[in-house]
Amino acid sequence: MNEFYVVFEQEEDGGFSVSVPALPGCFSQGDTFEEALANIEEAIALYIETKQELDSAWTPPSNPIFSLPVRVPIHA
């Protein structure tokens, strides 16, 4: 079982887009958070399956990705 950090972004018109920084090009979306989560889980599985079909030696990355808040002053 692999674990990946995913990034959810709430869209202005509703719904969520979601990406997986450790898997370039792995994106999905959903009308609700739960739908977006289920869709990205499926997208991750398909991404890994496709990569392994193309290169049997490919393994998912094991380097951790993390995020930190960054404070930047905004001048009006």
Q: Domain limits of the chain?
A: 7-54
The pLDDT of residue 62: 77
The pLDDT of residue 52: 93
- Assigned token pair, 70: 């960054």
The pLDDT of residue 11: 96
Reduced 3-state DSSP string for the chain = CCCCCCEEEECCCCCEEEECCCCCCCEEEECCHHHHHHHHHHHHHHHHHHHHHHCCCCCCCCCCCCCCCCCCCCCC
Confidence of residue 74 (pLDDT cuts 50, 70, 90): very high
The predicted-structure confidence for 4-63, as pLDDT tens digits, reads as follows: 989 999 999 999 999 999 999 999 999 999 999 999 999 999 999 999 999 989 888 876
- Assigned token pair, 12: 């202005």
